């Protein structure tokens, strides 16, 4: 517990007798959110103490310049720049202060939001639709595909389609496209007809563009067992 408190950038003991606050300065920026309270203070340390002592405070704005009495406007806020990114803007007359966080290194990828946990000095990434992984670094690869050809039209698990299978129950397969080969009379007939012509059913699946991190790409082909009849080509 003591180690956790030492690592925390913002910690408040439930009994109210112990506080930790380590705030990062964001020069000439302002978080446009509703204020908990406003006060005039002598310096940034006074504003920090006010925020740490207020259970609802998670960041504060402080005037960049003093008034005629030498005091600075201090505004306590109930949120921070990570949870209200669209309200965080440049402002020549204020500095913004949020608790230090690993989110400062921008660890979340593909437009994900980094949400800090100040007590544990950690974070989590809220991924945009279509991405997953600890840092939202992986695409699910299911959106934006185009399809031409008829080879998959009557596959028993294309979209897990019981109508195409002429049966009333789903096949309960995983994924949006699972090709188990010649499992229906329609597909078997189509395949045999094409075999008589010396060709195989053809299908082209085209993905949207994507970025490969690393040196290799791997993929899984499921279907028949005859390597002379089953083929797949990856173009890039």
Residue 182 region by backbone torsions, left for phi larger than 0, else alpha for psi between -120 and 50, else beta: beta
Question: Looking at the predicted structure, is the pLDDT value of residue 19 above 90?
Answer: no
Work out the average pLDDT over 89-103.
94
pLDDT digits (tens, 9 = 90+) for 21-48: 788 899 999 999 999 999 999 999 999 9
pLDDT confidence of residue 159: 46
Write the DSSP symbol of residue 45.
H
Q: What does the block give as tokens for 27?
A: 């020069």
Q: How many CB atoms lie within 10 A of CB 68?
A: 5
34-48, 152-166, 174-188: segment of lowest average pLDDT: 174-188
Q: Residue holding tokens 């094409």? A: 194
Q: What's the mean pLDDT when you consider all of the chain? A: 74
d(CA 109, CA 211): 12
pLDDT of residue 96: 97
Q: What is the pLDDT of residues 198-216, one digit of tens each?
A: 555 566 767 777 666 677 7
Dist. CA 5–CA 22, nearest whole Å? 11
Segment (H or E) for 114? strand 113-117
Burial group, residue 156, by CB count within 10 angstroms (0-12, 13-18, 19+): buried
Most confident range (mean pLDDT) of 63-77, 98-112, 130-144, 195-209 is 63-77
**Neighbour-count burial for 46-61, b at 16+ CB within 10 Å, e otherwise:** ebbebbbebeebbbbb
């Amino acid at each position: 517990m003591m180690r956790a408190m030492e690592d925390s950038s913002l910690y408040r003991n439930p009994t109210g007798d112990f506080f930790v606050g380590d705030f990062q300065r964001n020069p000439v920026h302002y978080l446009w959110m509703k204020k908990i309270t406003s006060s005039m203070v002598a310096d940034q340390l006074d504003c920090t103490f006010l925020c740490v002592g207020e259970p609802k405070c998670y960041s504060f704005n402080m005037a960049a310049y003093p008034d005629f009495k030498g005091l600075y406007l201090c505004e306590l806020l109930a949120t921070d720049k990570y949870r209200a990114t669209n309200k965080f803007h440049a402002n020549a007359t204020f500095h913004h202060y949020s608790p230090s966080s690993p989110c400062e290194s921008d660890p979340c990828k593909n437009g994900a939001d980094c949400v800090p946990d100040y007590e544990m000095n950690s974070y989590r990434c809220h991924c945009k639709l279509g991405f997953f992984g600890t840092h939202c670094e992986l695409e699910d690869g299911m959106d934006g595909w185009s399809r031409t050809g008829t080879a998959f039209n009557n596959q028993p698990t294309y979209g897990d389609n019981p109508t195409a299978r002429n049966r009333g129950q789903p096949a309960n397969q995983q994924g949006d496209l699972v090709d188990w080969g010649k499992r229906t009379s329609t597909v078997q007939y189509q395949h045999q007809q094409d075999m008589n012509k010396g060709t195989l059913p053809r299908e082209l699946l085209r993905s949207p563009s994507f970025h490969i991190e690393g040196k290799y790409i791997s993929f899984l082909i499921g279907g028949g067992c005859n390597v002379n009849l089953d083929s797949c080509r990856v173009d890039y």
